[in-house]
Structure 1
Amino acid sequence: MGARARTAWGDVVDEERGDVPGWVLITLMTAGLVVLIWALAGPALSGLFEQAITRVTGGLG
């Protein structure tokens, strides 16, 4: 049976030790995907950005 705790708002909630809330897992998985995509696409996006800046400035700089 889970422990009962009172929150700051006065609600009584049941706690289950060792259980990770779903929003924590979703947040961690999303962060992992962002890091993975950034690592794979970062150099290509950087090259595109540099090329675009070069075209806009007319090769100055």
Structure 2
Amino acid sequence: MSEKMIKAHIRLVDGLRRALADREGQRGDVPGWVLITIMTAGLVSAIWFIADERLKSLIGDALDEVSPSGN
């Protein structure tokens, strides 16, 4: 390996070590993100259940408007 490659590797490893050392003792808010994801999925499911037929007709009408008529 060339000297430039070795120095670049050393800088990269040193930077990664410093970045990881800065994160020690910190925990992410995993339960909060899980809750947000579950709540979002629940809301989408509820809206889909309530508005299923209306969404089908709305999307069908929109596609009919942009589809060629076959002539």
TM-score by length of 2: 0.45
Larger-gyration structure (1/2)? 2
Which gives a bigger RCO, structure 1 or 2 (Cα 8 Å, sep 6+)? 1
TM-score by length of 1: 0.50
Structure with more of its chain in strand, by fraction: 1
